[in-house]
Amino acid sequence: MKRDLKRVYRHHGIKYFAFPAVVLLMLAALADQRLGGYMDHREEASDLAIRLESNRNILDLHGKVQRNHDELSASFVSLEPKIFVAPDIAQSVNAMQEQVRALLQSLYFDNVEFFDFSDTTKGGVSRISMSARFNGVPQQLPRLEAALAQAPKLLSVDALEIKVIDDPQRGGQQLAVMARFAGLHMKQIPVPIPANASKNTEVKP
């Protein structure tokens, strides 16, 4: 065997021995080319799978948001007429002040004055409060209580201070009342994006 190899080497040189190495190099280059393309496609397929799963999660989340919105909407529809609903709490404060002022004046309370506004927020609903001074007579107080119960918006009296003072205009006495009124404010519930829009939205890479 060794003699045959030496004879081949003597007549043909290194070319016969180099040929298998060249073939191996060509096969290695071809494999690298094919394998490289395969790996690129595999990575692309993996990215697409991740994006698809992400889109599915978004659609699932949208469904949960829609169900929560429907549940909240049912409760909100029944409560909305009694709550001051506005984009900004300052608008609700102004609306509540005007409603209380109109209510007091309809009951013929005099010298209505507002002060000491405040609010506290919990769970998306704000409790707005304001104090008011006004003058009246004892007979007006039960009417005020009845009017608050029938008011279009939910109003309550947190505190009430009453003093008897002289009434120089009528030549007798009257009540100096200081009351702390409270109401509720919340923002309008946003309308969710329709499910069709989410499904048709193209996710760009």
Owner of token pair 């999660």: 57
Q: Across the chain, what does the average pLDDT equal?
A: 75
Q: On the CB side of 147, how many CA atoms lie within 13 Å of its CA?
A: 16
**pLDDT tens across 143-182, in order?**
999 999 999 998 999 999 999 998 888 878 899 999 999 9
The better pLDDT of the pair 114, 83 is held by 114
Q: What is the pLDDT of residue 26?
A: 54
The better pLDDT of the pair 63, 38 is held by 63
**pLDDT tens across 107-133, in order?**
999 999 999 999 998 878 899 999 999
Q: What is the pLDDT of residue 44?
A: 65
Q: What is the pLDDT of residue 8?
A: 47
Measured CA distances, 122 to 13, 65, 127 (Å): 92, 21, 8
